[in-house]
Structure 1
Amino acid sequence: MRSFLTLLPLCFLTAVFALDLPQHRLSSADEGISQGTYDDLVRYAKYSSAVYQFICPHPIGNTLVDTFSNHFTHAHGFVVRDDDRKELIVAFRGSQQLQDMVTDSNLVLAPLSSHGVPPETAASSSVHAGFMIAYNSVSRTVISAVREELDVYPDYTVIVTGHSMGGSLASIASLSLKVNLPEANVRLFTYGQPRTGDSGFADLLDDVVGRNNLHRAVHTWDGVPTMVPQYLGYRHHANEFWQFEDPSNRTNVRKCSGQEDPACSRANFSTGINAAHFVYFGQVMTVDSTLCL
């Protein structure tokens, strides 16, 4: 079964040159989001893009603490320390290799089970089985790396981020890190994330990580966030930040209401992997090696 998130080289050119993405104009009363929130969305999109690079010694010019990967699931990412902003950034790569196709295609919802997450916390929560397997294959390494950094820098904020499938892994990781490191301030930023779990999982993220710490960005007509259908039991977590039209600026981004706002990208008919999936906040995802210098 072909992956719905497999990166197709032709899409890179399409993403750069496509000028006919559908436009969505909101009421003039909607003034967009704050400049600070917009700047954060731009910044963490760069980490989510940089993590695709084969070698990334200085992600966004900061200190590479550790990399993690699993040969069988091809889950991959890095942990970065930004001493100026007092942040630890955990970024997960999206689909890139053959094994990712298997992970993406496993649409079965399975009861949430992950290292350090008590059964009573995970009760009534189910997630995409493939995404959970992929995260669990690197979870101990991720938690250990972040814990060691927080032992030295206890006041640093933990940012978890990822694009496409990486966004789904990041959402599970944000819950896992918050449960395992309850004193940490954990924030989540995802880009083009497909639906990852059921309503129980969405509610659990809201409650444990905190709704104000959740940022799920969708670019215009990106078909991936709506590709996994709700009728299979899936539901997005809050909060969607929908860039409803180009160009990228704060006034063209709307903070949507709740978990599945019918006035935001949920209203889009999914066209699958399209040009919008590869461009987030001015960043052509996956291809910019200068982000690692």
Structure 2
Amino acid sequence: MKKLKRYQYERYAVLCKLAYPKEFDYSSLGFSAHEHHAVCDSRGTVVARILCRPNKKEVIVLFRGTQSIRDWLLNFCIFPSKAKGNFKDKSTHNGYVHFGYQLLLNQKSKTRIPLPADSKKTSVTLSIYEDIEAKLAPLIESGKRITLTGHSSGGAMAVLAAQRLELAFPKSVRRVVTFGQPSTSYRRFFKHYLLHHRTFRVVCDLDIVTFLPPIPGLFKHLGRSLWLHNERVYDNAKPIWRLYRVISQWLISPISYHYMHKYIRNKDFFDKH
């Protein structure tokens, strides 16, 4: 299992935070307009951004999290949906995933491509995923490798898109890093997921979204969890253990604040007085 280094974590976390404002200042991050592609839905709302540099092998696909009431409602659409992907045997599939998150990835984008003159239609609209893949294909062919990241539902879209990319372009995905991601995988998809050893799921304290959907045994989280709690990082902490740790610390918190290390931790405040 590969490690997620501190500078990598900080870079992806900052990008996820900066993805939410309507204006994305890519120039301050060292990217030019030529190196930044915004992927929008049919309403013109940015769903994902593709960031790359000519002198770097890594391309970052950044997914925004929940942005509207419609997106929030899709979080509750937990019905099983057959996972999309390019398979040699068209009669098979690699499992089921959360309907709502797959719908977000498969919704129509703003990009239309022209069709041949003899076609009944003049053009066809790409889905969000198809738009992303079309923009990534030439970059992958030139030797670039893809990192996918996102917060909340954006993290769920990132893992679904990563699986499809890895099926279409083997060994093209460098890593997947998600923040506060709800589960999107049913058991069979978990079994066939190709990127467990390159997927890092960052969880902060008792982030309730990371426990969703609340159906133990039905949904399974993908990859490796990194739980940020009490100034430590716990590797692959089980949800029930996370819940126990947080609740037990809440119960003893009045006593724990008496410990001397709490006073030492706050020593820097005295520089301001």
TM-score over 0.5 for the pair = yes
Q: TM-score, normalised by structure 1?
A: 0.67
Q: Does the CA-based 8 Å contact 1:44-1:161 persist in structure 2? A: yes
Query: Which residue in the other structure is 2:263 paired with?
Result: none
Query: Which residue in the other structure is 1:51 paired with?
Result: 19
Q: Does the CA-based 8 Å contact 2:26-2:36 persist in structure 1? A: no
Query: Which residue in the other structure is 2:182 paired with?
Result: 194
Query: Which residue in the other structure is 1:237 paired with?
Result: 222
Q: Does the CA-based 8 Å contact 2:211-2:239 persist in structure 1? A: no
Q: Could you tell me which amino acid in structure 2 is paired with residue 228 of structure 1?
A: P
Identity of aligned residues (%): 19
Query: Which residue in the other structure is 1:134 paired with?
Result: 104
Q: 1:41 aligns with which of 1, 4, 9?
A: 9
Give the length in aligned residue pairs. 223
User: Can you list the C-alpha shifts for 1:39-91, whole angstroms capped at 9, x where unaligned?
Assistant: 21221112222222212241732244311121369670100004454210001
Query: Which residue in the other structure is 2:162 paired with?
Result: 174
**Structure with greater strand percent:** 2
Q: Does the CA-based 8 Å contact 2:84-2:164 persist in structure 1? A: no
Query: Which residue in the other structure is 2:31 paired with?
Result: 62
User: Which of these two proteins has the greater Rg computed from alpha carbons?
Assistant: 2
* 1:266 Cα deviation from its structure 2 partner: 8.7
Q: 1:100 aligns with which of 71, 91, 101?
A: 71
Using a 3 Å threshold, how does the CA distance of structure 1 residues 45 and 265 change in structure 2: closer, same or farther?
A: farther
Q: Does the CA-based 8 Å contact 1:243-1:254 persist in structure 2? A: yes
Q: Does the CA-based 8 Å contact 1:218-1:265 persist in structure 2? A: no
Q: Could you tell me which amino acid in structure 1 is paired with residue 65 of structure 2?
A: G
* 1:102 Cα deviation from its structure 2 partner: 3.0
Instruction: Give the structure, 1 or 2, with the largest relative contact order (CA under 8 Å, sep 6 or more).
Output: 1
1:1-293 equivalent positions in 2, closer than 5 A: 37-58=5-26, 60-63=29-32, 64-71=35-42, 76-83=47-54, 85-114=56-85, 116-117=86-87, 123=93, 125-137=95-107, 138-152=128-142, 154=143, 156-205=144-193, 208-209=194-195, 211-231=196-216, 233-246=218-231, 252-256=232-236, 260=238, 262-264=240-242
**Unpaired runs of at least 5, structure 2:** 108-127, 248-273
Using a 3 Å threshold, how does the CA distance of structure 1 residues 42 and 176 change in structure 2: closer, same or farther?
A: same
Q: Does the CA-based 8 Å contact 2:87-2:93 persist in structure 1? A: no
Mean Cα displacement is larger for which, 161-170 or 117-126?
A: 117-126
Using a 3 Å threshold, how does the CA distance of structure 1 residues 253 and 122 change in structure 2: closer, same or farther?
A: farther
Tell me the secondary structure at the aligned position of residue 8 of structure 2.
helix
**Unpaired runs of at least 5, structure 1:** 1-32, 247-251, 270-293
Structure 2: distance between partners of 1:190 and 1:222: 13
Structure 2: distance between partners of 1:161 and 1:141: 17
Q: Does the CA-based 8 Å contact 1:109-1:197 persist in structure 2? A: no
